[in-house]
Structure 1
Amino acid sequence: MAAPGGKFFIEKNMKILAPHHESFKQLWETKWKKPAEMGVYPFMFSTDSDFAPIVSELVAKDFKEPYDWDAYASTFFPQAKNLTSIAKEAEKKGEIEKASEYYLRASAVYRIARFPAPRSEQQRLAWKLGKAVCIKGLGLRPHPVQEIQIPHTHRLPSEGTTIPVYYLLPSTASTSTPVPLLILFTGLDGYRTELAVWMEGWRQNGVAVMVLEIPGTGDCPASASDPTSPDRLYTSLFDWIGQQEGIDQKRVGIWAFSTGGYYAIRAAHTHADKLAGVAAQGGGCHHMFDKEWLDHVNHLEYPFDLADTLAYKWGYGSDIELFKQEAKAKFSLVADGTLDKPKCARLLLVNGTEDEIFPIDDYYVALQHGAPKEARFVKACKHMGEPEAFFVLLNWFYDLFGIKANAGKQMSTIPFRAKY
């Protein structure tokens, strides 16, 4: 812990039970209803009316922790299938804009069904079906997003052969006029199907965007339990990027969200020569693995069982206690020497000071090791420092890439508004 007295900066809040852990009804009313109405995380590409019948059923059946994940996920399927049917019918009629919207709305319902991670059979099915309708919807847009399978050339035999990414290249990109590339690292529960919400805004500003999942989530081929697997993953990734003539190789950056921040900090040190800059928003590097921290996070800010989800993500399955015992020594970027490497890309650390998912302590630790770094902490804000942090980050990237853009205008592309 980095606070005086060997404590966490939010020590005083760590034993308080957040209301949304009492029941799904409380989760919806106190945490999810407003973002669902706004069409923002985790309800990208959706409208709250799509969730009304699902919420009614989950509340009527009094769903609460510990969740039966198969029963939970199954509740979402009828509505997701209904929205998909509307999309297919619209596509048959040539109503492409309507079809795109409904495919994406269906993907959002499947997303919350598999949230926070596809740990059960029905959640894994929701992930599979959600991917299919999401790329269908994104592919029907005026500037279609592509899904590319990048060869994982540096993989171990036990790892996947390709890296699935979403990719959107501005039409202005060419050998003579290469554009910047922003790589988005996803988080614990938001995958490429969700973080694609950022792609169109960046395209409008002449920036190519790539979105990929971190180890242990989505379809990432890297080993979840091997601390060195991200190094191989990103070497394969940068090999492919280096072959793209429309990309300005001197203007490649990473913006990582939440758990992805851990991997961004690592990449800034292991692949510094490939990057103009890296921003880690809401991530961690060391104390995020403290047993004292993990013992409390299941009842704090995160909507579900955070420690359990992290254990699953890092390859421990349901063995939460073993994860708590081993994770810090195995994955800490202080313990493995990453943060003390002499070379580091330009690195910006951003978070809210009251983060209850990953401790702000970790960014204090990062600033005390190795090469100098930049930091911006948003006072009295929780995880990721939203929404103020987004404006800080957008303007930082505009400067990094040497482009002129308006952060407010770009942020206006994020909330979803149903047209049909």
Structure 2
Amino acid sequence: MAAPGGKFFIQDNIKKTAAHHESYQQLWETKWKKPAEMGVYPFMFGAASDFEPIVSAMTEQNFREPYDWDAYAKMYFPQAEKLTKIAEEADSKGEVEKASEYYLRASAVYRISRFPAPRSEVQREAWTKGKALCIKGLGMRPHPVHEVQIPHTHGLQTEGTTIPVYHLLPSTASSSSPAPLVIIFTGLDGYRTELAVWMEGWRQLGVATVVLEIPGTGDCPAAASDPTSPDRLYSSLFEWVSQQPGIDQAKVAIWAFSTGGYYAIRVAHTHASKLAGVVALGGGCHHMFDPAWLAEVNHLEYPFDLANTLAHKWGYGNDVARFTEEASDKFSLLKDGTLDMPTCARLLLVNGTEDEIFPIDDYYLALQHGAPKEARFVKGGMHMGEPMSFFVILNWLYKLFGIEADPGKQMQTLPFKPKF
């Protein structure tokens, strides 16, 4: 802990229980309804009206923690299938814009079905169906997003052979006029199908994007339980980037969200020469693995069972006790020496001071080790310090790339507004 007295900065609130842990109805009413109406995380590409019958049914059946994840996931399927049929009908009639919207809306319903992670058979089915619909919908847009299978050339034989990413290269990019690149590292529950929401805004500024999942999530091929697997993963990624003539190799940056911030801090040290800059938004590096922290997080800010989801992500399945016992020694970037490496890319650490998912203590710690870093903490903000943090980061990246842009205008590209 970084606060005086050996405490976490949010120590006074660490024993409280957030209302959304009481029932699914409370989750919707106190945490999810507003973002669903706005079409923002975790409801990217979704419409609130699509979720209303699901919420009614789950409220009637009194869904609450601990969830049966198969039963939970099944509740979303009828609505997702209904939206898919509308999309397919529009597609067959050549109504491209309508078909794209409904494919994406169906994918959003499947996303919340598999949320926060595909831990059960039905949730894994939801992930498979949802990602197929998402890339179909994104591929029908005026500036289509493409899925690329990057060869995992540095991977072990026990790891996957390709890295599935979403890629969008501005039409203005060429070998004679290459574009800057923002590589987006996704988080614990938001995958490439969600963080793709940022791609169009960057395209409008002439900036290319690549979105990929972190180890233990989505379709990432890197071994979840191997602390060194991200090093191999990003070596393969940068090898591919170096072969792209439309990318300005001197202007490659990473923007990592939430749990992805852990990997951003690591890659800023292990692959510093490949990067113009790195942003770690809402991540952690050491105290995130403290047993005292993990013992409390299941009843705090995160919508579901955070410690269990993290155990699953790091390759421990349902064994939360063993994850809690071993994680710090195995994954801490302080204990493995990463934070004290002499070389680090330009690194910006951003988070809300009241984060109850990953403690702000970790960013204080990172500032006390190794090469100097930059930081901006949003006072009173919770996880990731949204939305103020986005404006801080966008302006920082604009300056890094040497472009003039209005972050407010780019932010307007995020909310999803149904047309049909």
How high is the TM-score relative to the length of structure 1?
1.00
Structure 1 partner of 2:53:
53
Structure 2 partner of 1:353:
353
- By how many angstroms is 1:219 displaced? 0.1
1:396 is the counterpart of 2:400? no
Structure 2 partner of 1:205:
205
Structure 2 partner of 1:9:
9
Structure 2 partner of 1:191:
191
Paired residues for 1:223-372 under 5 Å: 223-372=223-372
Secondary structure of the corresponding residue to residue 165 of structure 1: strand
How many residues align? The count is: 420
Deviations 1:42-92 (A, max 9, x none): 000011000000000110000000000000000000000110110011011
Q: After TM superposition, where is structure 1 displaced by more than 3 Å over at least 4 residues in a row?
A: none
Q: Percent identity, aligned pairs only?
A: 77
- By how many angstroms is 1:102 displaced? 0.3
**Take 2:330 and 2:380, find their aligned partners in 1: how far apart are those partners?**
31
Secondary structure of the corresponding residue to residue 182 of structure 1: strand
**Take 1:33 and 1:248, find their aligned partners in 2: how far apart are those partners?**
41
**Take 1:403 and 1:159, find their aligned partners in 2: how far apart are those partners?**
38
Secondary structure of the corresponding residue to residue 84 of structure 1: helix
- By how many angstroms is 1:22 displaced? 0.4
**Take 2:193 and 2:369, find their aligned partners in 1: how far apart are those partners?**
35
**Take 1:148 and 1:243, find their aligned partners in 2: how far apart are those partners?**
14
Structure 1 partner of 2:103:
103
- By how many angstroms is 1:163 displaced? 0.1
Aligned alpha-carbon RMSD (Å): 0.3
Structure 2 counterpart of 1:136, one-letter code: K
- By how many angstroms is 1:289 displaced? 0.1
Unaligned runs of 5+ in 2: none
Structure 1 partner of 2:155:
155
**Take 2:367 and 2:57, find their aligned partners in 1: how far apart are those partners?**
47
- By how many angstroms is 1:268 displaced? 0.2
- By how many angstroms is 1:261 displaced? 0.1
Secondary structure of the corresponding residue to residue 177 of structure 1: coil
- By how many angstroms is 1:262 displaced? 0.1
**Take 1:364 and 1:199, find their aligned partners in 2: how far apart are those partners?**
31
**Take 2:340 and 2:172, find their aligned partners in 1: how far apart are those partners?**
40
- By how many angstroms is 1:9 displaced? 0.1
Structure 2 counterpart of 1:285, one-letter code: C
Structure 1 partner of 2:171:
171
Structure 2 partner of 1:36:
36
Deviations 1:388-408 (A, max 9, x none): 000000000000111111100
Deviations 1:219-276 (A, max 9, x none): 0000000000000000000000000000000000000000000000000000000000
Paired residues for 1:17-166 under 5 Å: 17-166=17-166
Secondary structure of the corresponding residue to residue 253 of structure 1: strand
- By how many angstroms is 1:121 displaced? 0.3
- By how many angstroms is 1:285 displaced? 0.1
- By how many angstroms is 1:179 displaced? 0.5
Structure 1 counterpart of 2:408, one-letter code: G
**Take 1:210 and 1:84, find their aligned partners in 2: how far apart are those partners?**
26
Structure 1 counterpart of 2:35, one-letter code: P
Structure 2 counterpart of 1:407, one-letter code: P
**Take 2:250 and 2:342, find their aligned partners in 1: how far apart are those partners?**
21
How high is the TM-score relative to the length of structure 2?
1.00
Structure 2 partner of 1:381:
381
Unaligned runs of 5+ in 1: none
Deviations 1:315-351 (A, max 9, x none): 0000000000000000000000001000000000000
**Take 1:368 and 1:42, find their aligned partners in 2: how far apart are those partners?**
33
- By how many angstroms is 1:378 displaced? 0.1
Structure 2 counterpart of 1:393, one-letter code: I
**Take 1:413 and 1:37, find their aligned partners in 2: how far apart are those partners?**
15
1:221 is the counterpart of 2:196? no
**Take 2:178 and 2:104, find their aligned partners in 1: how far apart are those partners?**
30
- By how many angstroms is 1:152 displaced? 0.2
Structure 2 counterpart of 1:269, one-letter code: H
Secondary structure of the corresponding residue to residue 381 of structure 1: coil
Secondary structure of the corresponding residue to residue 345 of structure 1: coil
Secondary structure of the corresponding residue to residue 254 of structure 1: strand
Secondary structure of the corresponding residue to residue 223 of structure 1: coil
